Homo-oligomer: A and B are copies of this chain.
C-alpha cells in the first residue's frame, strides 16, 4: 500500500522546515538503522524532543522504525524527498533562468 494523494507533500515540506530534523535525516543517511538513543547524541536537546522530531518525520513518511528488543531502530525513506524534487522543485529549474534575467532587468527599472 502506498497511499500518497499528493497532499502529504505538505507534511514533507513542513518536516524539512526544521534544521534539527534535517540533521536527523542527514545522520540516518550516513548510517541507517540507528536507535533513538544514538540519534540523540550531541544534539543539545532531550530525548523526548528528538522523539517528537522523529514522529514528525515518520508522519511525513521520511522515516520508519521498528522495535528490536528494547531499542527502536530508525530507517530513512528517501522517496518523498525524491518526489518533492521531481514534482515541485523541477518547475523552477532551467526554463526559468529566463525569469532570472527578467528579474535583474525589471528590478533595475525597465518598463513592460
A3 on the B face (CB < 8 A)? no
For the complex, is A100 an interface residue (Cβ under 8 Å from B)?
yes
- The copy count of this chain in the complex is 2
What residues on B are CB-neighbors of A16 within 8 Å? Answer: 13, 16-17
* Residue total for A at the interface (Cβ-Cβ under 8 A): 39
CA distance in complex: A89, B83 (Å): 10
Q: How far is the CA of A82 from the CA of B89 in the complex (A)?
A: 8
Contact A78 B99 (CB under 8 A): yes
18 contacts between A and B (CB under 8 A): A10-B19, A14-B17, A25-B92, A26-B91, A29-B91, A33-B112, A64-B103, A66-B109, A75-B103, A75-B107, A76-B92, A76-B96, A78-B92, A78-B99, A78-B100, A81-B89, A82-B93, A84-B89
